Amino acid sequence: MSTARYVHWQDGGMWLGYLEEFPDYLTQGESLAELEGNLRDLYKDLTSGEIPGIRRVSELSLG
């Protein structure tokens, strides 16, 4: 099973979040469980290769 790190917070009655690898793509849910489901769907969309121009965060070794 693979995993992906995400950032989330509650704002009013909604949970908001984004995948660390794709910080430009925010999603939301009425519960934390719904947010996690939306994040899974978003990850599938962003990694499918069908959407052009996806911006990602990566790590560069400088040593």
Per-residue pLDDT of the chain (63 residues; tens, 9 = 90+): 899 999 999 999 999 999 999 999 999 999 999 999 999 999 999 999 999 999 999 999 998
Element (H, E) at 33: helix 32-47
Whether 16 contacts 27, CB under 8 Å? yes
- Per-residue pLDDT, 1: 85
Residue with tokens 């939306």: 38
- Per-residue pLDDT, 16: 98
Residue 3 exposed, middle or buried by CB count within 10 Å (0-12, 13-18, 19+): exposed
